[in-house]
Amino acid sequence: MTRDLREYIRQTNLRLIIGGIVILFVVGDGLILLIYGRDAAVIGLVCLFAGLLPLMLIWIFLWGMEMIVKISNKDKIE
């Protein structure tokens, strides 16, 4: 039984990233909620989303570049 190790690595990395973000939001904002209250937790969520925005923009930009390169290389192969 052979496995596609690249797909396995990609899947594992995605799961780790999603798990880390979930822990950050649930545990981090949950502690803010318990210690400081609901208003502070809302501000905490806003700050977490604002902090993730640049990362998401970079990811979208790199993904778009990858798609352009794949399309470009596909035309050269044929």
What are the residue ranges spanned by the domains of the chain?
A: 5-77
The mean of the pLDDT values for the chain is 91
Region 36-40 average pLDDT: 96
Q: What one-character-per-residue DSSP string does 1-36 give?
A: ----HHHHHHHHHHHHHHHHHHHIIIIIHHHHHHHH
High-pLDDT (> 70) share of the chain, %: 94
**pTM (two decimals):** 0.69
